[in-house]
Structure 1
Amino acid sequence: MPINFFKHIANPDDDSVIKFTPSDDLKEFVEGYYVFNANYCDGRQLFFNDGYPVVAFMQTKNEKAKISIDGQIKWVGNTWVCGGILKNIYCESSIPFENFLIIRFYPMTFFKLFGIGDDYFEKAQVFDFSEIAGYGFEMFNEAYYSSFSIEKRIQVITSFLSEKIDCYSYPKVLIDILDYINRQGVLTVKDLLETYTVRLNYKWLERNFKKHLGISPKNYLLIRRFLNAYLDLHSFRSKDLLQIAINNGYYDDNHFIKDFRRFSGVPPKTYFQNIAASSRCCNCEDILPTVNGPVYTNSRRDY
């Protein structure tokens, strides 16, 4: 989903997002339903995932999204999935993100809920929900878009997902480990093994992350680190790039720039210049960082 949505998810007091708690029978599967009220500008948006797969719903049934995946164009329908490690993926469509609804799933149970392999996101990171939704999707899709209130739409989602629940066991400690990672912010695999409340075996951690989350612990921590650094860069205009990089566990700013290129396709200065230029077309410059501020000026290299 658009990377800037994560700053609202992380802030429960943010007026730009409303979180709805799932029903009791879905609490092991769904982390939450999020409705975004922010008036984001239409146009190019960097897509990202923090390790929690999401299903996103367009506002109307006939909407589609134009997705650029490493320069290749792909269209997805009114309901689509986003997960795994996203690199240089952008939404190119003019989508009104106001009242945009997203279901955020726990990765441990997502794959079993939809009967897919834990390597599914290695093949595709953004795709139509119909590809994995299974039996009853057309009826579900019709019922969802025939409902006009958010509350009614969530009831339709709850009914559809509840029918898919089957007996599935996984190490419950994984939920606590993810919560611990989220609280700590900056961790390496070594840090996690040494500082978690109980001693963790690396082979156990590697095996269970790949089996239940579809991603290695190293890659999970990597995308969390980049996301935290990106949000710092977007939000704190007075910090310089080196300080942001170090605060988020990078050796130096060059390593952060390398990751930024990896996930967005361009260095941070170019990325935010492009966003600023686009924002002037929709008068929403106030949500963007200052491109010419001290965070982007450094004589040693071109960011």
Structure 2
Amino acid sequence: MNGSVQKSFPGQPSMGVLNLKGSETKFRLSRYTPSDDIAFFIKHFWIVSWDLTGQEPYLQDVVPNPCVNLVIERDKTAIFGAAKGKFSYLLQGKGCVFGAKFKPGGFYPFLQQPVSELLDKPLDIDRVFDIEARDIERQLLALEHDEAMIRLAEQFIRPKLPARDDTILLIEDIIDRIKEQPDITKVDHLAECLPMHKRKLQRLFEQYVGVSPKWVIKLYRLHHAAEQADQGRVVDWLKLSLDLGYYDQSHFIKDFKTIIGETPEEYARRVGG
């Protein structure tokens, strides 16, 4: 393990954790860089822990991203594809969840079938790795230190590492373009930039990422919009919707609500309150 830790603090990109500033006292979120061999496929390990003993439960919202996650949680361990909308998790009592976030496209070499098949259909961990869900829950969640959890996770991941697939690097580059070039608002724009035929691009994303390039473009534009409000900025939603390529603000509001779970104004009031 490289030993690199990235902890989430207000003012840093939320990476899909909504209202990060308002939740900092409710749980601890840490992200760790994997060992070099594993890092070709896995973006980071993440650990969420909380102790709300004697306190009210807390509902945390998470926006999806185009990544597969291996999640180890008591009685809920599985491998999950990208969700299509906001996911809400109820934190109560005391607990811990461990995850491995694969790079976009990084899980396909393990699966060797279209990652789109994981949409709304989690995969049992023993379908890919030589470990039963209950065994890894018992072993890993009993550990007290993050580093020990990561070592154990790498022990069962490493024997199953597939050959490196350069398509993962291509997909990384494509998604970096989407994130860094806000003027890319349509799949046609993206295909022209690469250059790559639109249909080939769509097939590539279905196979490796599990969601369409159109959805990924929309997702990152709406991530950006939500983070504007998260950072306490007064947002001109009409201007922002135009900047993101929407010709009609009503379509922007509809898409924002689909992904974030509420309208821009409702979300801004909640995180600002």
TM range (shorter): 0.7 to 0.9
Letter in 1 for 2:69: V
Q: Deviations over 1:86-116 (max 9, x none)?
A: 235432453768x754322113131332466
Cα root mean square deviation, aligned: 3.5
Indicate which of 55, 69, 81 corresponds to 1:83.
81
Q: Deviations over 1:223-266 (max 9, x none)?
A: 22222222223324322221232333333432221112223444
Q: Aligned partners of 1:289, 1:39: CA distance in 2, in Å?
A: 25
The alignment status of 1:289 with 2:264, answered yes or no, reads no
- CA shift in 2, pair 1:259/1:241, >3 Å: same
Aligned residue number for residue 54 of structure 1: 69
Q: Aligned partners of 1:239, 1:272: CA distance in 2, in Å?
A: 9
Letter in 1 for 2:190: L
Letter in 2 for 1:208: L
Indicate which of 136, 141, 145 corresponds to 1:140.
136
The answer to whether the 8 Å contact 1:55/1:129 transfers is no
Q: Aligned partners of 1:38, 1:269: CA distance in 2, in Å?
A: 29
Between 1:131-140 and 1:247-256, the stretch displaced more is 131-140
Identity of aligned residues (%): 20
Aligned residue number for residue 3 of structure 2: none
Letter in 2 for 1:8: S
Q: Deviations over 1:139-179 (max 9, x none)?
A: 33322123211011000111111122123635242222222
The alignment status of 1:24 with 2:36, answered yes or no, reads yes
Gaps of 5+ in 1: 62-76, 277-287, 291-303
The answer to whether the 8 Å contact 2:81/2:116 transfers is no
The alignment status of 1:244 with 2:227, answered yes or no, reads no
The alignment status of 1:8 with 2:14, answered yes or no, reads yes
Q: Aligned partners of 1:31, 1:178: CA distance in 2, in Å?
A: 13
Indicate which of 178, 181, 185 corresponds to 1:181.
178
Letter in 2 for 1:55: L
Q: Aligned partners of 1:53, 1:263: CA distance in 2, in Å?
A: 17
**Structure 1 residue 201: deviation in Å?**
2.1
**Structure 1 residue 221: deviation in Å?**
1.2
Gaps of 5+ in 2: 1-9
- Taking structure 2 as the reference length, the TM-score comes to 0.74
Between 1:260-269 and 1:152-161, the stretch displaced more is 260-269
Aligned residue number for residue 254 of structure 1: 250
The answer to whether the 8 Å contact 1:29/1:109 transfers is yes
Q: Deviations over 1:44-70 (max 9, x none)?
A: 233321102223445xx4xxxxxxxxx
- CA shift in 2, pair 1:6/1:255, >3 Å: farther
Aligned residue number for residue 194 of structure 1: 192
